[in-house]
Amino acid sequence: MREHLELFWSRVRKPKVLRACEQAHLWSELVFLYDKYEEFDNAILTMMSHPSEAWRENHFKDIISKVANIELYYKSIEFYLEFKPMLINDLLIILSPRLDHTLKQLPLVKPYLRSVQNINNKAINEALNNLLIEEEDYQGLKNFIDAYDNFDNISLAQRLEKHELIEFRRIAAYLYKGNNRWKQVVELCKKDRLYKVI
């Protein structure tokens, strides 16, 4: 079937052949036809729906840059995080010219960051810290601080002591205490009446 489509794709009846490929579960051929007929959104959706049969890395990267629906960019990032997390950087480089960088889409890569946090990399740890603060997950941040140590404790404490939630200010005192910064611990505890931290 594939060879026939490659030779005669311009002569076949588009709707009929597309429907036949879909009914026969010929996903790779369906993606080929969507690509030839410039239905790039459908090609990407088919690849993400049937990755074992239809997804090819170079083909996906080539088509994703031609997609009209920007929301498919974010879906493709989630797809890569789930199925091909080691290739996410290549995809992000391709998508970066059209992504809205002001959306603060760090939560999209949170599953990936969580999966590699056991490396205890400073950049990953700080990205996760920022994410936990943004989500106001003080318990998650406290657990993270207890489990991992490769991040700038003092700058995190300085940031947290100005936070509006008292739980984050309590974590700031905890960080200062761990770094023997007793003056800051006492000042913060007096201000917030956190006598149990000391």
Overall average pLDDT of the 154-162 stretch = 90
Cα 31 to Cα 46: distance, rounded to the nearest angstrom: 7
Range name among 115-119, 147-151, 168-172 with the lowest pLDDT average = 115-119
- Cβ–Cβ under 8 Å, residues 63 and 35: yes
Residue 39 has a pLDDT of 92
Overall average pLDDT of the 25-50 stretch = 91
Residue 130 has a pLDDT of 87
Cα 186 to Cα 183: distance, rounded to the nearest angstrom: 5
Overall average pLDDT of the 155-169 stretch = 89
Task: Report CA torsion sign: 10, 12, 16, 22.
Answer: negative
Q: What are the structure tokens assigned to 10, written together?
A: 């311009």
Cα 185 to Cα 85: distance, rounded to the nearest angstrom: 41
Q: Given a cut of 70, is residue 104 above it in pLDDT?
A: no
Chain centre distance of CA 173: 31
